[in-house]
Amino acid sequence: MSDRLEDVVDIALRVAEALGKVGASYFVGGSLASSIDGEPRATNDIDFVIDMAVGKVRELSELLGADFEVDGDMLRGAILHGRSANIFYLPLVLKIDFFGHPHGPYDESEFSRRRPVVVRAGRTLMVKAPEDTILRKMLWFREGGEVSDRQWRDILGVLRAQQGSLNLAYLRDWAVRLALTDLLDRATAEVGA
C-alpha cells in the first residue's frame, strides 16, 4: 500500500476505536473498502456506515479529540435520518464521511455481512463484504450517470482481486433486485469472470 493509504488506514483505525468505545456498530466502505478488497488507490476520504445512539455523539467527539472537527448537530441528523455527515481529521485535512445506517432491505443485508479485516498487525477494521462494495459502487456509478472512471475501476479491481471467492449467487440476486444486472454483466465480461 502507498504511504498515503497507510495514513488513511491509521486514521480509520483511530475512528473505529472511538466508535467501538461508544458502543457503535460500523463498517468501512467506499474507496478504502475497494482498496482493501481490490486495487489499492489513493483516497481523499474515508466512508463509515454507522449504527450509533444519538446520545453518544458528544462522547464520540471527545474520544476523537482535538485532531478531529465534528459537527455534532450534523452527525445527529445523519444518525436519525440515515443521511451523511462529514467530520475532518485536521492534521491531513482528511474528510471522514459518516453515513447513518439506513434500514432498507439491501442496507440491512449489506450491514449484516460486514466482517473484520486485519489491516495492521493485530488490528482490524469492520469492512463491508466485497460483493457489497461492488454493488454499492455500481449504484453510485449509475446514480452518477455512469461516467465515473474511478467508480468503474474500483468495481473491476474488486472483481479481479476477489475472483473465485465471491458469492456470485448473492451478487446476482441483489443485482437483479437493484436493477444492476446490465452493469454486473458488463463488469464480469470486462474482467473475464
For the stretch 18-73, pLDDT in tens is 999 999 999 999 999 999 999 988 888 999 999 999 999 999 999 999 999 999 99
Cell of 122: 493485530
CATH number at residue 66: 3.30.460
State how many domains the chain has.
Answer: 2
For the stretch 77-94, pLDDT in tens is 999 999 999 999 999 889
Rounded average pLDDT over 153-171: 96
Backbone angles phi, psi at 177, to 5 degrees: -60, -35
Pair 120, 140 in one domain: no
Q: Whose CA is closest to 35, among 81, 61, 1?
A: 1
In which domain, by residue range, is 117 found? 3-127
Q: What is the pLDDT, as a whole number, of residue 44? A: 83
pLDDT tops 90 at residue 104: yes
Last residue of a domain, one of 82, 97, 127: 127
pTM here? 0.92
